[in-house]
Structure 1
Amino acid sequence: MTSHPELEPLAARFGVPGDAVHEVPGGVANRAYTLGDDLFLRIPRSAAFEQDLRKESTVIPAAIAAGVHTPAIVEFDASRTLIDQPYMVLERIHGTDLVDGENPPQEFWREAGAQLALLHQAERPEGAPEDDGGGDPRPTVDSLAAQGYLDGGIATWLLSTFDHLATLIPEQKPVLLHGDLAQQNLMTHDGRLRAIIDWGDAAWGPPGMEFAKLTLEQVAATLPGYRAGGGPGSAGRAGQAEGLEASALWFHLSWGISGLPKPPQPGQRHWTAPPASRLLGVLRFYASSPPAPWPGLIKKTQH
């Protein structure tokens, strides 16, 4: 007997017995199920997420055409004929994500960077929205200082750091972004990258924004592969080498600061959910004495 009788018509369409349908826990936007050994089913949790699944139906083929390792779509159906919701059936990838596993070797991150370089050279698919990552964070710094989330000295230092980063970040032509490149969406097996999954946050935006959901340690390990693969935006202004590092740090600080007033979010698998995680992640990275050019990106305080 199946524990998901509502999915029996869909399973039967693909020749999968009802007792081979198993729900996979987790997932914010979609409920997920394995259909036997070879297929993976995703169904939006609510109407608010249906548009993201439609977007994936155009973005995934574009990513595959660019050479990115991601499960191919077997079927996308929004007709509500078999079940009363849109659904997407994909090839099933056998592997694990990085949330609960050990940190993979450096070669994994170089491979991830090379995959991003391919993605960022793809043409813009239909349905990929523009996203600048929230714009200039400096008004947010002023607002949080006025509300008492930041003291005046820290606010002044943050503003000077953003001013400094702005001199290093090149004009970034928008590219196709995965948009949620995080540990839960990187599939691994035997220390190798198997696939990048979950394209619901894909967007058309600046290359540096792609690195905002990895830890800075992971960003530093990924960028060599990205540069070797010819990823856009690799150089800074006037040919300076630190353009991508500066842009990645910009987004880590910007999004970290904007998240400070948010309430706690217990039970989430993604490391950026707790309000202070991004900023503490920056602190951890810089406390580890990172290599050049990272130390020069932070504005030194004046004594």
Structure 2
Amino acid sequence: MQFLLRDTLATRYGVPAEAIREVPGGVANRAYTLGDDLFVRIPRRAAFEADLVKEATVIPLARAAGVRTPPIVDFDTTRGLVDAPYMVLERVHGTDLVEGATPPSGFWQELGRQLTLLHKVAQQPTGVPADDGGGDPRPTVDGLATKGYLDLGTARWLLGVFDHLATYVDPGRPPVLLHGDVGQQNLMLRDNQLQAIIDWGDAAWGPPGMEFAKLTLEQVAATLSGYSGREGLEASALWFHLSWGLSGLTKGPQPGQRHWTAPPGSRLLGVLRFYASSPPEPWPELLSQKTGY
């Protein structure tokens, strides 16, 4: 951290300069702890500034709905301190799940309850974008078969799976406010309990099943046990796991990433691992073949 910025932050927020430390790992933002009580996020590039502005709108909505996420202490867009907007939040004391913690089932049920609260937020003109998660994945399947990434038999099977999953999903279900990045790096654990959901830069209005695309399917199943109004969400979550797994199949290796979905084969192998564990209903039915492919 530049000494000038460190000293300026220390003076403005009343903390010793030596108590300001960088937190590694952020993709969109540089993050620093300001002593024991505060946490600051500064966009790394201009391209990420709009996401931080969006967070300033979404975090109060989430907190008003009862979602556990730290409040904003200061949001400065003047560019007087640094040449970017920046946000100061209350610091969360805990560890994320990337650090290897294995929470109890109650953690995931509470996450389901928290996401229920978030998804009940009424839609309003907040400047938060709409996101359908990439649309119909069946052209992707055709393209992978044409280019030789999939054999024709597997491609036909996948088309049948997506046709079958579509029968479970209500196309008229209204979009909900999504956190957009409910992954292991953004779930904070303390004393085996869900402490907070952090990092709202990917928030969007979209289909509720998309919210579960960045958890493993084992975690999805546990989370949905605490979610109210889950009808069809298993099918929708599986749809996005398969769709996004296929769309990322041709990208190159992604070494050193903290989120498990970064490597190109992780999502599809995650589906295989989940189904090899004999999951409960309705999961087995979702991959049954009744389509004639």
Please indicate the TM-score interval, normalised by the length of the shorter structure: over 0.9
What does 1:250-261 align with in structure 2 at a 5 Å threshold? Answer: 250-261=239-250
1:104 matches 2:103: yes
Structure 1, unaligned stretches of length 5 or more? 236-242
What does 1:149-160 align with in structure 2 at a 5 Å threshold? Answer: 149-160=149-160
Matches of 2:3 and 2:193, distance apart in 1? 33
Matching residue of 2:140: 140
Question: Is the 1:3–1:19 Cα contact (8 Å) retained in structure 2?
Answer: no
Question: Is the 2:160–2:289 Cα contact (8 Å) retained in structure 1?
Answer: no
| Residue correspondences, number | 290
Matches of 1:72 and 1:245, distance apart in 2? 31
Structure 2, unaligned stretches of length 5 or more? none
Matching residue of 1:285: 274
In the TM superposition, what is the alpha-carbon distance from 1:3 to its structure 2 partner?
Answer: 6.2
Amino acid of the structure 1 residue aligned with 2:135: G
Matches of 1:297 and 1:283, distance apart in 2? 13
SS in 2 for 1:99: helix
SS in 2 for 1:124: coil
In the TM superposition, what is the alpha-carbon distance from 1:256 to its structure 2 partner?
Answer: 0.2
CA deviations 1:34-76 (Å, max 9, x no partner) are 0000000000010110000000000000000000000100011
Amino acid of the structure 2 residue aligned with 1:144: L
Matching residue of 2:234: 245
In the TM superposition, what is the alpha-carbon distance from 1:269 to its structure 2 partner?
Answer: 0.3
In the TM superposition, what is the alpha-carbon distance from 1:299 to its structure 2 partner?
Answer: 3.0
Matches of 2:3 and 2:249, distance apart in 1? 40
In the TM superposition, what is the alpha-carbon distance from 1:102 to its structure 2 partner?
Answer: 2.3
Matches of 1:267 and 1:83, distance apart in 2? 29
Runs of 4+ in 1 over 6 A off after TM superposition: none
SS in 2 for 1:219: helix
Question: Is the 1:253–1:279 Cα contact (8 Å) retained in structure 2?
Answer: yes
Once the two structures are overlaid, the 10-residue window that deviates more, 178-187 or 6-15, is 6-15
Matches of 1:97 and 1:218, distance apart in 2? 15
What does 1:4-15 align with in structure 2 at a 5 Å threshold? Answer: 4-15=3-14
What does 1:1-303 align with in structure 2 at a 5 Å threshold? Answer: 4-124=3-123, 126-171=126-171, 172-227=173-228, 231=229, 234-235=230-231, 243-300=232-289
SS in 2 for 1:107: helix
Amino acid of the structure 2 residue aligned with 1:59: V
Matches of 2:47 and 2:98, distance apart in 1? 26
Question: Is the 1:4–1:21 Cα contact (8 Å) retained in structure 2?
Answer: no
Amino acid of the structure 1 residue aligned with 2:130: E
SS in 2 for 1:225: coil
SS in 2 for 1:16: coil
Once the two structures are overlaid, the 10-residue window that deviates more, 268-277 or 163-172, is 163-172
Matches of 2:85 and 2:156, distance apart in 1? 49
In the TM superposition, what is the alpha-carbon distance from 1:190 to its structure 2 partner?
Answer: 1.0
In the TM superposition, what is the alpha-carbon distance from 1:300 to its structure 2 partner?
Answer: 3.4
Matches of 1:199 and 1:124, distance apart in 2? 17
SS in 2 for 1:226: coil
CA deviations 1:161-207 (Å, max 9, x no partner) are 00000011123210000000000000001110000000000000000
Matches of 1:90 and 1:21, distance apart in 2? 14
Matches of 1:61 and 1:203, distance apart in 2? 15
In the TM superposition, what is the alpha-carbon distance from 1:224 to its structure 2 partner?
Answer: 1.3
Identity %: 71
**Distance change >3 Å, CA 7–CA 86, structure 1 → 2:** farther
Question: Is the 2:108–2:219 Cα contact (8 Å) retained in structure 1?
Answer: yes
SS in 1 for 2:149: coil
State TM-score, norm by structure 1: 0.93
Matches of 1:3 and 1:140, distance apart in 2? 45
SS in 2 for 1:144: helix
State TM-score, norm by structure 2: 0.96
